[in-house]
Structure 1
Amino acid sequence: MESENSSLKENNEALVSRADELARRLHNKSRQANRARLSADGLRAELNRSKHARAVQAVRLGRRKTDGIGKAMKLARVSDTKRWMKGKGGIFVEKSREMVRELVALKVTPENVDPVIHTVGTGLGLQVQDHISARQVGRVMEEGGIASDVQVAMEINASKAATASATDHTSESQMEGWRTVLVEGLVGTYNASPLGRANPIDVDEFITFIKALGTDHANDQKKLARLITEWVRNSRTVMLGKRWLSSASMQQYMPTILQFSNDKIANAGGLDAWNALSEEEKAIRDIEVCRALYCHFGEQEWKNLSAEERFEAESLVWCGCCMHKEMNSVKGGVEGMKLFWESIGGPAPVKLMNKANASAVKNSNSGSAASEKALDASEGGAVKLTSLPGALFNHKDDKRGQQDTFKLYFEDVLGFKVSCPDTSNTRFQSHCDCAIFIILYLPQILQFMSHIMYNKGKTALNHLEANVLKGLQDIPTLTELVVLALYANAVSYAYMRVVRATGNRKMNALDLAEFHKKVISFCEKIAENPDLLLAPDASYETGTLHGQVWEHPEVFYAIQQLKSKLPNLSGCLKSFFVGTFRLSAAARALIYANPTNYRNEGALGVLRRAVREAARLSLSVHNAKSKYTVNDTRQFLQSPAVTDAFRAWLRAEARRRIDSGRDRKCRMKIVAHEKVVAAEKEAAEVKRKAGGRAHKSITTTELIKNINWHRQFVEVGVIPAKTLISKMPKESKVRQLIAAVERYNKQILPRLQMLALAAMTAGVSDKDGVDGIPIVDSWDAEDEGLEEDMLDDYD
């Protein structure tokens, strides 16, 4: 029983323990269920809150999206109007540089380039965000000038021919200028660029491309042509030597090279002296020897050329400016008219003297030295007269002359405005134009002279106005005016139409030979038969060079009305017209020369105007702008040949040149040259005055004594008799002595020197002389300053 009870007790305890365990578990599960329910409720609430938040967030995102799109569209609209001239690294992009160069080419000053860019941008609704300084504009223009040099060098090298064109009137300075322009300016710049480093140009070969020279007709220009011919000839010899060396074997040229090298060391003073030279000096001498070798071998090759090859190599065509030809023809015609008035012995054109000469003539006796001097220094005639109305009716200075009154008066009289041709400036053909103007409006001009006289307080003309009126009323002067007008209508205008033709009608100066023969023939025809221009039925078909309508037909009819008052018109016209008057096809095809020199002279005029408009404009900036414009360098800079590397070099080279201070160096060079010239003139003046003081002390007795000494060398009568010499004033005695000295130096002294030489060979001492004839050195009166100084002293 007890065992059963204990067993039951144990079972009961186990059951109770089991029940407690289950109760605990149930409690735990209940707690877990409660926590799970609470968690679920929290999650549900959180989910609801998140859902609400996401709904609110979606609304906000929608609003932000809408606002963002609006802002983006607004920003896009703003960015569409913004523009930058600079790119990566703060460097102005190529489009900006091109725009700047084009603006400067259109005469916008560097200081105004940036304001113009911003003003134009604002007008187009654009906002330019950065700025460019005037200094940077100068660099950009310098890049254009450098690029133009490279472009021209490439084009000449490709064409294998070039024509030089001279501008000033000093042969040596022009020659040095051409060396600088071609060697340093074109070839040097090109070879320094990436394009040149890849494909360099030989300087000597480049010089041989000069085939022609276009200048005016001055003697110094002919000398320049000879200098350039020698330069080109020397370069061609060097090129022949280079080509021979490139194809010859070492055995052929090595002995000569060794000889030249040994001579080089010997000239330096030996091997030790050569080794003591600096590396720079050695390099210079090596270059000189190398060039001497080229010339040596080139001269040998030159002898092997055929006659035709030598002619082609030596030929350089010189072309004179056709505008100067026409101007010279007018000058020759004017000289012919002067001879005509002298030949007929009749009244010549009245002298239109300046104020000083007119006063000298008025206050001196007729035939006196002062009066004759004033008359000789004064001029008359058509050309002198036409220069006066230009100064009176259209003066280059707006503050002087009667131009405003003249225009208003003629507008009232004629019903339209007219302008007198601008003869007060250097204007081509302006004198012929003025002659036509005067002939057409002669009655009105005479009335205008009365108009301005009676509008003055003293009712009198000033000296210039009186001269104009005197010339207009002078029949010989009017005759010459008519001749100038006829020549212009018949020859000048037609001639210039041909030589200054443009476009497809533009001609090569080398092709104008037949045309100039036609001009000469036409002038001869008019000289033989003046009625071709003077007859009432004269026709333009036979009265003009080109057979076309007169340039000014109205002046022909005005002359017909006037010619009855001009009795010497036919003879004067005839005298005027009398006063006016080997290459292969392949070589000719290479050469083009402008018929006229107006490009150079026009360029000088453009420079003067540019400096007047921009006083601080430097010559280098002007040249860069001109080269960029004339050579159309914009197209070159847009070509495939221009790479980024070339543009980078261009920017660096422009900065280097500007920072080198070249403009200041050029100005200092000019000042140094002027100092040298001034010093030379000052020394000459000191010498002249010293000689003058020495000669001033010579007495009348000494003058007569020296004159009489010269009588022994000439026949009787060559020197005036002693009685006449003694009665002459001191000035005349001085002139007689000067003439005797010059005659002695030119005629007597050479004979005496020959006699002295013969005596020396015969053993006679030079101190003894020959037959009592003294042996003296030459005395140059001009070098000693005798004539000028003594006449100044005794004037």
Structure 2
Amino acid sequence: MPPTSKRQKLAKNARAHIHDSGSSSNTENLPLTPSNSPPIRGRPPKNTKDRKKPVDEELAERNDHITELKVLISDADTDILRLETSLATLQEAHDALLGKNKTMNTTLSLKRKAETSYSEERTRARKRIRRLERDRDTKAQTNAAAAAPNARLHAYENDTHTTALTNALCRKQDLLNATQKQLYASEKREKRAQLSYKTMKRAYDELRVWKPTESGEFTNVSRELVRNLSYTGCAAGKVAFAISSCAKAFGIEIRGRLMSARTVGRVIDEGGKYGELQIAREIMEAEVFCESSDGRTHYGLTIEGRHVTLRVPSYAPDADNSDKSTWTTQTRFVEVVHALDHTAQRQFNGTVEMATQIADTYSRSPLAARERRTMDKNHYWRKKLAESKDHAANGKKAFRISAEHKKDIIIHDLGRVAMDEADISTSHILTTILSITDEDLAAEGKLTAAQLSSLSTEARSLLVEDVLERKIGEDRFDALTPAEQSNKCTHFFGGCCCHKDLNVVEYGYKSVQRIYSELDNVQVPPPVLLANKANAATITEGSKDSAAVQNAIDSSTSGGIKLQLIGSLLRHKDGERGYQDKATIFIRRRKFELYSLDEPSKFPDVSNTRYGCYTYAAAEIVCFHGIIQELVTEVINAKTKSGPENHVEKNVLKGLNCAVTMTELVALALYGVSVSWPYMATVRSTKDRPVNLLSLTDLHRKLPLFCAHIAANPHTLLDPTTLQDQLTIDGQPFLDEFLLVSIRQLQPYLRNPFLMISRMFAGCETGWIIFTPEFHIGRTIARLTPEQLATLHVPVTNDCSKGILGTFKGHTKYRPNSTPHSFTNQTRTQRNNTEAFIKKCCDRKDKKYVMREVRKDGMGQKRAKFQREWAKLQREKAEKALKRREAAALKKKSRASRLAAT
């Protein structure tokens, strides 16, 4: 509340004085006494002059009081005018700063109403005063005696009116005080509004202006923005244009230079280098992890993709990374890299090179210096407990090489620890050193005798130390129990579950194919032969006993496996060949017309081998073979030259009309609906809730038993009374109930359906036994410790590594100049949550280190080195093949000459 002004104090004192004088002069309310009682009528007044004088004095006093009130009122008017001027000034300032202030407008409206009311009251008071003055003068001139009562009455009225004016003045003063308080509050709000406005304007100015650089160096924010734009598909040369265009659209001013295409490439590589630090640190922090890898050819060269699965922190700003209970299982992308070939040894060498690189990158970093630790290349193998690969021979061989390498590292570790202990004698160490031979050194260093002799003294000493560690470590390792040895060298192969099922289907179908060679062709006739165009011409035109015809028959295939014919006709992998969308539209329309089925009708992609595609395609043909025949016939009739079908169409129609071929398809479809589809639905998982292969032991032990039961009782699948848990591997209803209805309708036309079904499931039983050895009783998973089972997570599929290779193929389709290195750096940053790691764990020193490393690496040199090595390897392969052919030709020529001589 503002302090009381001097004029307010003066007005307050005047009101108090008026109140005191009014109360002392108000005698009309007093009881009549001889001194103040009116004269009695009929009696002459006593001493009239003496009685008139007090009345005049009293009127004079009243006039004085009225004059004083006028003065006070005049002062109040002056104060009000000054307040009005001050209020107007404040109002103008307030309007200029805040504009439309509704609260102030309301206050000013009240003030104006108060001023108007006060002005009207003051005018009426002046009129009353002038009227009273006129009445007083008139009545004073007429009769003083008669004027006395009237004077008293007027005095009383004046007192009453004065009191009313005083009260009105008090109310106006209170209103003025309230108005001043409101003005004071408005001034405070105005100041706060000004401060808020300045703060908001400052923040707006900061947001409106974006500076990509700081002290001549691009900020972390601009680097992250560039990496994100690049990941979304923005070309390096268009990043600056994209940023400036967005800034212009958003009303943001860019102060400073933007990145060039070369700098963008380096910033992307910096993200990849940060990713190396992240992977190395996470491996150091993790207790165990699993490695996944796969390979394929791309433009004639081999590329390999690698992932690791382990428990990692979230890197959230408010998360405690040291609390491992908050960590989650994630699959981290490591790299896509060129390889000379996909042999087992090359795969192993690639993993060693990758582990060495991330260990070296981390150990030399400021991050490792702050954490006071380093990572050697063997740390990767100590933490790796499992590998997830396809069920390929080279993958399993690479796994065995990796397991031997890990055992070698464990033995060296045991030897190193034993040498550091005090209980081992110096004499034993010296004896072991003396027992080391040149053969041991050559075997340890994988050197020839010439290379060993050319070693320097220091290098030879290091090699002797390694051999010493190995020999002492072998003694310590042999002293362990078999269980302890197995625990220390834990390293098992977790094959991709989808590849397991893919291979099992192949085993099952091969078992079906053996029926025709094992049984009489009359009892079980083979399916119709579906030869290709060349073989069909040879078979048709040649004689039956000719070798060419027999060779054409032997090289031709038949049966349900020829589904690729229908796949190439309905959904060829080349979008310009086959029926494509014509088949989709026709089949979908006919499904709805005949069966009221409104579902996607793209034929399963058997042209590109997909998981479960053959069983899904078999089910599609069994259910809708009539629609497919109708489609092929309609397309043939709709051709420009109506009538002749091409060779593929002819084979498709022959296969659909063959009862044995349809029976094989029924066996494939029944295996899919009862085992394959529910199995893949169980093992496939989402990114947020991954399934651990170690948790599927019961399922994989049940699979051979279930297949054996169906092989022994094939009729149960088509028996409506069979219990649900005996029909599918997961005990759930069939995923395709329409398939069972279609098979029952086809059953009278099928040839030996239960024999085919039995053989199919019997072959699958064998396949599941072969491809699930890790789940057998007493095998790898059963030997894991509870701690290992609790911490190790093995992916159920190898989709991550196989998928990343497909992603790279799609990436290079639209970015033909991209390399595996640039793709790795870009993808690693985005998939591994590397930006959050940078913000959480890295500082300016790490940024400087990463920038130096990226500019020092020079991928052009690595690419040139790989090209030289590949050219050398290709030349060596060509020379070896040429020598082999020359030797074979020479041997053949020598044999021919010997035969000619005899």
TM tier, shorter chain?
0.7 to 0.9
Is the 1:508–1:595 contact (alpha carbons within 8 Å) kept by the matching residues of 2?
yes
Find the counterpart in structure 2 of residue 668 from structure 1: 868
Give the one of 386, 402, 408 matched to 2:579. Answer: 402
CA drift of 1:376 comes to: 0.9
The range that moved more, 164-173 or 518-527, is 164-173
Q: Counterparts of 1:78 and 1:585 in 2: how far apart (Å)?
A: 59
Q: Residues 121 and 470 of structure 1: is their aligned pair in 2 closer, same or farther, counting only changes over 3 Å?
A: farther
Q: Residues 128 and 486 of structure 1: is their aligned pair in 2 closer, same or farther, counting only changes over 3 Å?
A: farther
Find the counterpart in structure 2 of residue 297 from structure 1: 472
The question of 1:349 aligning with 2:523 is answered no
What is the number of equivalent residue pairs in this alignment? 624
Is the 1:453–1:461 contact (alpha carbons within 8 Å) kept by the matching residues of 2?
yes
CA drift of 1:531 comes to: 2.5
- State the TM-score, normalizing by the size of structure 1: 0.73
1:179 counterpart SS class: helix
CA drift of 1:630 comes to: 2.9
Is the 2:565–2:652 contact (alpha carbons within 8 Å) kept by the matching residues of 1?
yes
Q: Counterparts of 1:464 and 1:446 in 2: how far apart (Å)?
A: 13
CA drift of 1:160 comes to: 3.1
Give the one of 281, 292, 305 matched to 1:165. Answer: 292
Q: Counterparts of 2:615 and 2:681 in 1: how far apart (Å)?
A: 16
CA drift of 1:179 comes to: 1.0
Find the counterpart in structure 2 of residue 477 from structure 1: 661
The range that moved more, 352-361 or 252-261, is 252-261
Q: Counterparts of 1:644 and 1:689 in 2: how far apart (Å)?
A: 67
Q: Counterparts of 1:292 and 1:691 in 2: how far apart (Å)?
A: 45
Give the one of 608, 615, 618 matched to 2:816. Answer: 615
Is the 2:623–2:739 contact (alpha carbons within 8 Å) kept by the matching residues of 1?
yes
2:558 counterpart SS class: coil
- State the TM-score, normalizing by the size of structure 2: 0.64
Q: Counterparts of 2:624 and 2:238 in 1: how far apart (Å)?
A: 46
Find the counterpart in structure 1 of residue 251 from structure 2: 125
The range that moved more, 501-510 or 312-321, is 501-510
Q: Counterparts of 2:560 and 2:728 in 1: how far apart (Å)?
A: 22
Supply the RMSD in Å over aligned alpha carbons.
3.3
CA drift of 1:687 comes to: 2.7
CA drift of 1:200 comes to: 0.8
Q: Counterparts of 1:557 and 1:146 in 2: how far apart (Å)?
A: 58
Find the counterpart in structure 1 of residue 616 from structure 2: 433
2:407 counterpart SS class: helix
The range that moved more, 510-519 or 91-100, is 510-519
Q: Counterparts of 1:647 and 1:516 in 2: how far apart (Å)?
A: 48
CA drift of 1:477 comes to: 0.8
Find the counterpart in structure 2 of residue 46 from structure 1: none
The question of 1:213 aligning with 2:364 is answered no
CA drift of 1:148 comes to: 1.5
Mapping of 1:51-450 within 5 angstroms?
A: 80-89=207-216, 91-129=217-255, 130-168=257-295, 169-182=342-355, 184-197=356-369, 198-248=372-422, 252=426, 256=430, 259=433, 281-342=456-517, 343-345=519-521, 346-384=524-562, 386-414=563-591, 418-450=601-633
Give the one of 650, 666, 678 matched to 2:850. Answer: 650
Q: Counterparts of 1:73 and 1:160 in 2: how far apart (Å)?
A: 50
Is the 1:205–1:235 contact (alpha carbons within 8 Å) kept by the matching residues of 2?
no
The range that moved more, 653-662 or 187-196, is 653-662
Mapping of 1:505-520 within 5 angstroms?
A: 506-520=690-704
Find the counterpart in structure 2 of residue 569 from structure 1: 753
CA drift of 1:167 comes to: 1.8
Q: Residues 696 and 362 of structure 1: is their aligned pair in 2 closer, same or farther, counting only changes over 3 Å?
A: farther
Is the 1:105–1:629 contact (alpha carbons within 8 Å) kept by the matching residues of 2?
yes
Q: Match of 2:740, as an amino acid?
A: F
2:469 counterpart SS class: helix
Q: Counterparts of 1:514 and 1:258 in 2: how far apart (Å)?
A: 49
CA drift of 1:696 comes to: 4.4
Find the counterpart in structure 2 of residue 691 from structure 1: 891
Q: Counterparts of 1:511 and 1:79 in 2: how far apart (Å)?
A: 54
Q: Residues 267 and 698 of structure 1: is their aligned pair in 2 closer, same or farther, counting only changes over 3 Å?
A: closer
Q: Counterparts of 1:353 and 1:532 in 2: how far apart (Å)?
A: 35
The structure with the larger Rg is 2
The range that moved more, 243-252 or 299-308, is 243-252
CA drift of 1:395 comes to: 1.4
What CA deviation, in whole Å up to 9, does each residue of 1:186-234 have, x standing for no partner?
2121112122344112333442222112222233333222211211111
The question of 1:497 aligning with 2:681 is answered yes
Is the 2:418–2:424 contact (alpha carbons within 8 Å) kept by the matching residues of 1?
no
Q: Residues 438 and 133 of structure 1: is their aligned pair in 2 closer, same or farther, counting only changes over 3 Å?
A: farther
1:349 counterpart SS class: coil
Is the 2:710–2:758 contact (alpha carbons within 8 Å) kept by the matching residues of 1?
yes
Find the counterpart in structure 2 of residue 37 from structure 1: none
What CA deviation, in whole Å up to 9, does each residue of 1:574-602 have, x standing for no partner?
11011111232223334322222222211
Q: Residues 489 and 76 of structure 1: is their aligned pair in 2 closer, same or farther, counting only changes over 3 Å?
A: closer
Q: Counterparts of 1:439 and 1:194 in 2: how far apart (Å)?
A: 64
Q: Counterparts of 2:453 and 2:886 in 1: how far apart (Å)?
A: 44
Q: Counterparts of 1:330 and 1:292 in 2: how far apart (Å)?
A: 48
Q: Match of 1:290, as an amino acid?
A: E
CA drift of 1:528 comes to: 2.0
Is the 2:606–2:613 contact (alpha carbons within 8 Å) kept by the matching residues of 1?
yes
1:661 counterpart SS class: helix
CA drift of 1:310 comes to: 2.0
What CA deviation, in whole Å up to 9, does each residue of 1:466-505 have, x standing for no partner?
1111111111111111111111111111111222233686
Is the 2:612–2:677 contact (alpha carbons within 8 Å) kept by the matching residues of 1?
no
Is the 2:660–2:751 contact (alpha carbons within 8 Å) kept by the matching residues of 1?
no
CA drift of 1:540 comes to: 4.3
Q: Counterparts of 1:279 and 1:337 in 2: how far apart (Å)?
A: 62
CA drift of 1:382 comes to: 0.9
CA drift of 1:698 comes to: 5.5
Q: Counterparts of 1:298 and 1:124 in 2: how far apart (Å)?
A: 67
Q: Residues 135 and 549 of structure 1: is their aligned pair in 2 closer, same or farther, counting only changes over 3 Å?
A: farther
CA drift of 1:539 comes to: 6.0
Q: Match of 1:653, as an amino acid?
A: E
The question of 1:531 aligning with 2:715 is answered yes
Q: Residues 561 and 133 of structure 1: is their aligned pair in 2 closer, same or farther, counting only changes over 3 Å?
A: farther
Q: Residues 115 and 431 of structure 1: is their aligned pair in 2 closer, same or farther, counting only changes over 3 Å?
A: farther
Q: Counterparts of 2:202 and 2:368 in 1: how far apart (Å)?
A: 48
Q: Counterparts of 2:479 and 2:822 in 1: how far apart (Å)?
A: 48
The question of 1:629 aligning with 2:629 is answered no
Identity among equivalent positions (%) equals: 28
CA drift of 1:447 comes to: 0.8
CA drift of 1:410 comes to: 3.2
Is the 1:336–1:579 contact (alpha carbons within 8 Å) kept by the matching residues of 2?
yes
1:167 counterpart SS class: strand
1:240 counterpart SS class: helix
Q: Counterparts of 2:698 and 2:613 in 1: how far apart (Å)?
A: 27
Q: Counterparts of 1:434 and 1:237 in 2: how far apart (Å)?
A: 52
Q: Residues 248 and 602 of structure 1: is their aligned pair in 2 closer, same or farther, counting only changes over 3 Å?
A: same
Question: Which structure 1 residue ranges, 5 or more long, are not aligned?
Answer: 1-65, 67-71, 269-276, 706-795
Q: Residues 84 and 693 of structure 1: is their aligned pair in 2 closer, same or farther, counting only changes over 3 Å?
A: farther
1:122 counterpart SS class: helix
Q: Counterparts of 1:413 and 1:251 in 2: how far apart (Å)?
A: 87
